[in-house]
Amino acid sequence: MSGAYTRGTRARRGDRDAWRDISVALALVTLFMLAARIFIGRGVSIGHVMAILTLPLWIGAVIRSGRGRLIVLLTILALVNGVWLTAFFAPTHNISDLEFTTNIAELLSVVMILGVFLWASTLVRAWVAATAVGLGLVVSAVSRPALFLENPWKYALGLPIAALLLALAMAFRRRVAELLVLILLAAVSAAMDSRSFFGVFAIGIVLTIWQMLPARRRTTPVEVLMAVTAVALVVYVVGTTLLLGGYLGEAAQARSIMQQDRAGSVIVGGRPEMAATAALFLHNPLGFGPGTLVTPTELLAVKAGMWTINYDPDNGWVDNYMFGDRIELHSTLGDLWAYWGIAGIMLVVVALVILFRRASLDLAERSASALLVFTVIISAWNVAFNPTYSSLPYFGLALGLALTPRSITSGAGQQHAQRSRRRSQGLVAQTPTALPRR
């Protein structure tokens, strides 16, 4: 009997191991395909299909996460509101069926990446799941026409390669490995005239170095947020000075001076879509719905808003790119508002709160990985300055990292935080509680 029992136990253990291997493969391939975005039609990709087929396997990981459930509920609310807006404006506006399905698929991809990442993180190290996403992002970038433009790093490869290298750096469990990757990325970005990327990596470098320093006292998350805000302002001021002074290249200098003179700010002058978004919001704060196209009257309102920052909108960019066969406001917040209305704004705000909260907590404990810092910073940047297509995969990855329990998160941050706490405790133990009386 005992022999039969042992054989049965081994067989069951073997079945469990086989199922685990299958689950790992499914999770990692699904993450890869979601990020690679190999489309099969109407904005639907192979990754979407795989995520739907594996839904019973990963939905439980989202349900067990309170903040994950909140993201799902807000996504459903946004979808319902967007469909209603499309139906409401259909009698007076043209509707693009292709954009309708494409925008729905893009929004769902955030929840899919989040859910599959949480599931994968219960099976493998977080850096392995993040590497699968990074590889998919690189494949997606290589297959995009932007790769063949004059600056492939800026328009295609920079962010995907950053996500992949920082995910791989987590495997070394050494803060110095993450720092070296960030320095390399910043140097390449400066050489390739990628001003915003250089700023993002510069902030990451400062925060990584800060985490490497011994902790003299416990830092609160609020103090971390204030410090990060200060660092961002310093990077902006110093970066603008370097740009205007020509230290980051003559081309970047000429473009920055033109933008500064035109709008009074490098950011506003470099992102005239912000003025277009503000004008369109004031004209119709409800939003439009996925697939809804603006009317000539609304287009005139947009152009009037862009004239207020001394930007000439009659240059083809506004008519053909921003409002040709879609609404493209060149910012995640603007696009999600246009497609999903006020519910889209709510989704963005709640997601940012979740990201900032996790990042500030990890930074306060000196356990934040460079990948988490990078994805949170780039997601915040994308909210204001990049369209949904290039932004939402990073949003999904950032949320996956932010909602992964710390107990199963590995990387340099955890070990460094433990060493830092031990050093801090040692310093405290050596410090006398009171001065001796003479």
Q: Give pLDDT tens digits for 188-244.
A: 998 887 878 988 999 999 999 989 988 777 778 788 888 888 877 777 677 666 666
List the Cα angle 71/72/77 in 5-degree steps: 95
Contact 77, 346 (CB under 8 A): yes
User: Cβ neighbours of residue 42 under 8 Å, at least 6 residues apart?
Assistant: 97, 98, 101, 102, 105
Cβ–Cβ contacts within 10 Å for residue 164, how many?
21
Q: Which two tokens stand for residue 149?
A: 């433009």
- Alpha-carbon span 341 to 353, nearest angstrom: 19
Name the band, by pLDDT with cuts 50, 70 and 90, for residue 250. low
Task: Tell me: pLDDT of 110 over 80.
Answer: yes
Which tens digit of pLDDT belongs to each residue from 257-267?
Answer: 666 555 555 56
Do 369 and 378 touch, CB atoms closer than 8 A?
no
Supply the pLDDT for residue 7: 54
Which of 45-49, 163-167, 198-202, 337-341 shows the lowest mean pLDDT across its residues?
Answer: 198-202
Residue type at position 222 = V
Is residue 357 over pLDDT 90? yes
- With pLDDT > 90 as the criterion, what percentage of the chain qualifies? 59
Beta-carbon neighbour count of residue 418 at 10 Å?
13
For residues 304-313, average pLDDT? 87
Task: Supply the mean pLDDT for the chain.
Answer: 85
217 Cβ partners below 8 Å, 6+ apart?
424
Residue 270: Cβ within 10 Å count: 19
Asked if the model's pLDDT at residue 118 lies above 70, the reply is yes
For residue range 39-83, list pLDDT tens digits in order: 998 899 999 999 999 999 999 999 999 899 999 999 999 999 999
Give residue 358's pLDDT: 95
- Cα maximum dimension of the chain: 90
Q: Is the pLDDT of residue 310 over 90?
A: no
Residue 259: its pLDDT value, please?
Answer: 60
Give the pair of three-digit tokens for residue 102. Answer: 């494409």
Q: Quick check: 101 pLDDT over 90?
A: yes
- C-beta atoms surrounding 285 within 10 Å: 11
Nearest to 214 by CA among 370, 426, 432, 356: 426
Q: Do 359 and 140 meet the contact criterion of CB atoms below 8 Å apart?
A: no
In the predicted model, is pLDDT for residue 379 greater than 60? Answer: yes
| pLDDT for the residue 173 | 82
d(CA 63, CA 398) in angstroms, rounded, equals 18
- Of 146-150, 389-393, 398-402, least confident by mean pLDDT is 146-150
| pLDDT at residue 194, as a whole number | 83
Q: 419: which residues sit within 8 A by CB, 6+ positions away?
A: none
Q: Give 425 or 87, the one with higher predicted confidence.
A: 87
Q: Is 311 helix (H, G, I), strand (E, B) or coil?
A: coil
Residue 38: the pLDDT is 95
Determine contact, residues 279/304, Cβ cutoff 8 Å. Answer: yes
**Structure letter (DSSP) for residue 435:** P
Q: What's residue 31's pLDDT?
A: 98
CA 98/CA 176 separation, integer angstroms: 46
Is 214:424 a contact under the CB 8 Å cutoff?
yes
Q: Tens of pLDDT along 404-437?
A: 987 655 445 445 444 444 444 443 333 333 323 3
Please, what is the angle between helix 2-36 and helix 46-53, to 10°?
Answer: 150
What's the pLDDT score for residue 410? 44
Give the pair of three-digit tokens for residue 120. Answer: 């994968």
How far apart, in whole angstroms, are the C-alpha atoms of residue 24 and residue 120? 7
Secondary structure class of 369 (helix, strand, coil): coil
Q: Quote the percentage of the chain above a pLDDT of 70.
A: 81
Instruction: Yes or no: say if 160 and 137 are a contact pair by the CB < 8 Å rule.
Output: yes
